[in-house]
Structure 1
């Protein structure tokens, strides 16, 4: 009787082994496999091989588990009949089923999920050896499986989508694998093909430019005061950009005081405002320039965009030693209210507050979003409730929203 009990315990342990191993291998990610291969070269290669041969792996584990469970059933039945007679078989079956469920399935699988890499590393050789021993049975089962698969209706294969990748990135942030700024950077990289240059350019009303006829002796003090190294040069008016002048070229020509900006300017890179920023980036890189003139659909000046603007879309705000640090476009106070500049790109606010604002693809700034909701240019103090929270207009100009406040939630009280 003691032998029977010891064999039962051993078989139950083997059941736990097969169940846990199955879960460990199937939950292992490709990233984990590559990490294992770096540290355990041979075992890592075996793990990758079994992971790629899912049919063989599952067949090996299922064959082993079923043989073990059959053995437990036979031995427990024989032991029960010897001790209590056949009338107690029902009770024994119930107890055995519960033991297999708890100790052979639930506990091993939960443990395997938490320690899948460790378990795979220390069991892969055993599983690989068993796959060789069980090969005839595996071949038979795999053949039957293929026949059934051919007779079954085919479902289209699910491919990894951009939304799926972004969801994984967000999940990685939530569980602490990625820091917040890294999550924003990854999202920005994927969004690089979707954001138009209009969303990040400096609007023409804020562009610093100088007339082409201006002598460099008069231009240099203005350039120095403005703090820019590349200056658009215009002709008859500021809408007609003729070229770009570099500050260093102006300094080099100081010995020729009669020289004008027109004599020093280079042809500008011109792009339409409908271009996506990845396309502008490629063009500036090919031209080896750092500033492009952005034109609207009518050929008029829309604004300018720099290579720095494009890079900042990915890594965030950059400052050089000559640039005065402006406050963030989005700031948050202690009471939970966000103060937002009206020209802030809508996707920037979405990243910061973690909320998506449903909007038309043509709308790119928070000011445009709120003007679209209000169907007019709202007055200061106007409250605009949304499903995501409440916006309050702070400042406006004659044509646009300059500053707003926002508090997430539907019960935002003005403070």
Structure 2
């Protein structure tokens, strides 16, 4: 930490603050030393390159993700950046590593509608749903064939085409695999000028839905418009039990790891949600009140809806052990 602060952060900050003065002051000494020591520098550089080629197959990167994260934490600790800037940088670092399946809306929570309905018949349900883009299916909700936009329905209403089939105004959906990383999805959204994509599992089945807003929230946190109902925070510390947290089961696992500063290995870091993590540990459907011990801490199942977990209580271990 001392080397990081006094050997990295502080000199760089001083150089940025007084860049012109330092550059002018050091220009001639640097030029003199470079000329004087050029033969030695040339010999050492080529000798080092020769040794590397002879005895090294693949050199490890000099800068790692963990190293950058530690530098961001250190910069926050010494006041060079505030907490919001630190969180933003850490989210940006994780952005290209995060897979779609960790942020998508699972198919069990997706509102979709049959293409066999007329626009008139489908209109009331679509209005009640509150969504502006609705996936439509053929025969089965597993078979998504298109997306309907509310603005297209309103246009059909103005043009008195409400008795047409819903499929007549459907748009071609964009399909993405659930293993795709967020930076790739973001690029596809920009290229296709779309706001929503259908997520497919490894067998080509309907897995869920991801939107441009979902992707943006991974960088900037939760985003709400004037019509969107604000949900409670997914992770809340319980006032009556300091150090214990109420966690929504569909919370992305990486979000819990980041917010509670937990340590996990690379494999566990790819777990999609808190519920998926617990199911992997238990190997069975839990019941309300069941207590689950894990290397991260103690989980207690607070709420179940059928076979699906809704909320858990989490007490992290003091040392935040690695899985």
Task: Give the structure-2-normalised TM-score.
Answer: 0.82
User: In structure 2, what is the equivalent of residue 370 of structure 1?
Assistant: 278
User: In structure 2, what is the equivalent of residue 349 of structure 1?
Assistant: 256
User: In structure 2, what is the equivalent of residue 177 of structure 1?
Assistant: 80
Deviations along 1:248-272, whole A, 9 cap, x unmatched?
1101111222122211111100111
Q: Which structure 2 residues correspond to residues 262-281 of structure 1 after superposition, within 5 A?
A: 262-281=167-186
**Does residue 1:36 correspond to 2:18, yes or no?**
yes
Describe the shift of the 1:389–1:260 C-alpha distance in structure 2 as closer, same or farther (beyond 3 A). Answer: same
**Aligned residues of 1:166 and 1:187 also touching (Cα < 8 A):** yes
| Higher relative strand content | 2
Describe the shift of the 1:219–1:143 C-alpha distance in structure 2 as closer, same or farther (beyond 3 A). Answer: closer
**Does residue 1:206 correspond to 2:109, yes or no?**
yes
**Aligned residues of 2:198 and 2:206 also touching (Cα < 8 A):** yes
- What is the CA-CA distance between 1:362 and the residue it aligns to? 4.7
* 2: CA distance, partners of 1:286 / 1:272: 17
* 2: CA distance, partners of 1:219 / 1:158: 55
- What is the CA-CA distance between 1:223 and the residue it aligns to? 1.8
How many residue pairs get matched? Answer: 301
**Does residue 1:319 correspond to 2:224, yes or no?**
yes
Give the SS at the match of 2:18.
helix
Give the SS at the match of 1:253.
helix
- What is the CA-CA distance between 1:185 and the residue it aligns to? 1.7
Unaligned runs of 5+ in 2: 1-5, 53-58
User: In structure 2, what is the equivalent of residue 257 of structure 1?
Assistant: 162
* 2: CA distance, partners of 1:270 / 1:144: 59
Describe the shift of the 1:327–1:315 C-alpha distance in structure 2 as closer, same or farther (beyond 3 A). Answer: same
User: In structure 2, what is the equivalent of residue 293 of structure 1?
Assistant: 198
- What is the CA-CA distance between 1:245 and the residue it aligns to? 1.0
| Higher relative helix content | 1
Q: Which has the higher contact order (CA 8 A, sep 6+)?
A: 2
- What is the CA-CA distance between 1:147 and the residue it aligns to? 9.2
Give the SS at the match of 2:302.
strand
* 1: CA distance, partners of 2:261 / 2:95: 19
Quote the RMSD (CA, aligned, Å): 3.1
Describe the shift of the 1:409–1:321 C-alpha distance in structure 2 as closer, same or farther (beyond 3 A). Answer: same
Higher mean C-alpha deviation, range 179-188 or range 327-336? 179-188
- What is the CA-CA distance between 1:287 and the residue it aligns to? 0.7
Task: Give the structure-1-normalised TM-score.
Answer: 0.65
**Aligned residues of 2:98 and 2:181 also touching (Cα < 8 A):** yes
Deviations along 1:112-170, whole A, 9 cap, x unmatched?
xxxxxxxxxxxxxxxxxxxxxxx9xxx3xx47965995799768797222221111111
